[in-house]
Amino acid sequence: MKPKAIFFDRDGVLNKSIVIKGKPKAPTRLKDFKIYKNLEKYFIDLKKEYLIYVITNQPDFFEKKKRYIINKMHNKLKKKFPITNILCCFDIKESSKNKKPNIGLVKKILKKRNIDLTKSFVVGDRWRDIDLAYNLNCKSIFINRKYREKLNKKPDYVCRTTIEAIKLILKK
């Protein structure tokens, strides 16, 4: 039987985004990287049935000299949650095959693992995440943080919090 996966966005899903005039922005300083509380126990249950990936666009870290900061952020996530892997696109060009909603980062996973995408989920708080789910033929869960931003595609599910999204997955 093929494994199932959950592809989590990072900012606004696992950690708080910095919202300026209704638009989310990724934290660029370690002191601003705040992981949402009370997610750990739900991740333990998820890990029993799913591979857990974090797929994130981080163009603010395009310059390699700043990457030590993002590595520290990702190490914090890995210590807190049983994550299979974190894949990060630093590209600033919209056309990058690795930048969500393009599927380049997930293709790298699929070369190593034969994941059943039809039984997998993408969980995100922005249009790029919902479009990624659509491009992969996965189920999409949109966490509505009430940003001033429209979706291109209709998500399969809408939740208010990451915990609500995880509970929904665990019921399926």
pLDDT of residue 1: 86
pLDDT of residue 65: 85
- State the SS3 of the chain: CCCEEEEECCECCCECCEEECCEEECCCCHHHCCECCCCHHHHHHHHHHEEEEEEEECHHHCCHHHHHHHHHHHHHHHHHCCCCEEEEECCCCCCCCCCCCCCHHHHHHHHHCCCCHHHCEEEECCHHHHHHHHHHCCEEEEECCCCCCCCCCCCCEEECCHHHHHHHHHHC
| Residue 78 CB-density burial (10 A; 0-12 exposed, 13-18 middle, 19+ buried) | middle
pTM recorded for the entire structure: 0.96
The two beta strands, 50-57 and 85-89, are parallel
Domain that holds residue 128: 4-171
Least confident interval from 90-94, 99-103, 143-147: 90-94
Cα torsion for 21, 25, 27, 28, to the nearest 10°? -110
| Local confidence band at 172 (pLDDT 50, 70, 90 cut-offs) | confident
> What is the tally of structural domains in the chain?
1
| Local confidence band at 63 (pLDDT 50, 70, 90 cut-offs) | confident
pLDDT of residue 75: 97
In 3D, which of 13, 94, 93, 24 has the Cα closest to residue 53? 13
pLDDT of residue 28: 95
The CATH number of the domain holding residue 98 is 3.40.50.1000
Q: pLDDT by residue (tens digit) across 67-100?
A: 999 999 999 999 999 999 999 999 999 899 999 9
* pLDDT, mean of residues 18-25: 95
